Amino acid sequence: MGKPIHGKYYSTSEYHRAWFTGELFKEKQSFGTFARFHPEILIDQIRDLVKDPSKSTVLEIGPGNAPVSAALPFKRRIFIDRSAKIATDLKTPAALIEVTAKNLDAFKGHSSFEKIKERVNKGEPTYAGIRLDSKNTQIVVGDATALPFRKDVMHDLVVVNEVLTHVKPEERVKTLESIAALTGAILIVDRNRLPLERISHHPRFTEANRLEMERQVDFNELRKALPTNEWHVQTIEVTSEKQAYTILKAVRRK
Ligand SMILES: C[S@@+](CC[C@H](N)C(=O)[O-])C[C@H]1O[C@@H](n2cnc3c(N)ncnc32)[C@H](O)[C@@H]1O
């Protein structure tokens, strides 16, 4: 493990700082995420957590350019993103999701499905717009660590895809506690920390590895925010693009 995991730039302290300050997302989301490669998996998890979206409300934190809750007909949807540019882009008619052979099925029913399929089959880079219905969608610029929402309005679901990774490790449990206070169910996906944790004692464990580890999310620690007498929590381990991810699903006990 002497080599930085994602190449030199990603190991610089400059990149590491930008990862946590929001600097990386000022203009756009420049890298692929689990939600962009596999929206269909997360959409299935949402279907499992929310039986009837048309009677439910969802708060999606840090939707970036893969607002997965947009794929289901929620009664009311709030997106909150720290990047004003990204939030504004969500107001334009469509939010873009990358379509590949793997997630093509999730776009059945899309008005341009045949065209999308044709491009994907030819191996051309393909993005599909998910049209946001502005009548029931509210877009807010704000921070997951200081959510500007009333505590007495409960949502049916909060979605937090690859956002906690951008919250400093020591603030993650507190952030999730404040999220949990707003909802009956939670869906989180993030790169998990387990593999590195196992090797961090190795003599050749480098500073670059340590920085990478800080960007990964410790799901055992997140569970602290969701006590078992109040929440039923399930985790699913998945991999995408050679990265290990955890999907955490939590439902408040009645
Ligand atoms: C890696 S992208 C993930 C986007 C999308 N959820 C996905 O999975 O593809 C992180 C997104 O969260 C936003 N973000 C990062 N930190 C945030 C914070 N503290 N509060 C709100 N949004 C944040 C970024 O602006 C960006 O849009």
pLDDT per residue as tens digits for the range 107-116: 887 778 898 8
Kindly state if the Cβ of 209 falls inside 6 Å of ligand 1. Answer: no
Q: Supply the residue whose CA is at minimum distance from atom 10 of ligand 1.
A: 163
Say yes or no to pLDDT of 150 above 90.
Answer: no
- Buried b / exposed e over 77-99, threshold 16 CB at 10 Å, is bbbbbbbeebbebbeeeebbbbb
Q: What is the pLDDT of residue 177?
A: 97
Is 39 close to ligand 1, i.e. is its CB under 6 Å away?
no
Tokens standing for residue 217: 């999310």
Mean pLDDT of 186-214: 83
Residue 108: predicted pLDDT: 80
**Distance (Å, whole) CA 147 – CA 12:** 30
62 lines ligand 1 (CB under 6 A): yes
Helix (H) or strand (E) holding 85, with range, is helix 84-91
The pLDDT > 90 percentage for the chain reads 56
Integer Cα distance of 185 and 251 in angstroms: 4
Least confident of 57-61, 117-121, 229-233: 117-121
Q: Sorting pLDDT into bands at 50, 70 and 90, what band is 3? A: very low
Q: Specify the pLDDT at position 132.
A: 65
Which of ligand 1's atoms lies nearest the C-alpha of 33? 9
What pLDDT, on a 0 to 100 scale, did the predictor assign at position 92?
Answer: 63
pTM (two decimals)? 0.84
- What's the CA-to-centroid distance between 22 and ligand 1, angstroms? 8
What is the rounded CA–CA span in Å between residue 76 and residue 136?
Answer: 5
Question: Taking 70 as the threshold, does the pLDDT of residue 175 lie above it?
Answer: yes
Instruction: Provide the pLDDT for residue 112.
Output: 81
Indicate the pLDDT class of residue 131, thresholds 50, 70 and 90.
Answer: low
Bigger pLDDT: 216 vs 102: 216
Cβ contact 82:141 at 8 Å: yes
Q: Which domains does the chain have, with CATH numbers?
A: 9-93+132-252 (3.40.50.150)
Among 38, 42, 163, say which to mutate for ligand 1: greatest number of ligand atoms within 8 Å of CB: 163
Phi, psi dihedrals of residue 120, rounded to the nearest 5°:
-60, -45
Calculate Rg over the CA atoms of the chain: 18
5 pLDDT above the threshold of 60: no
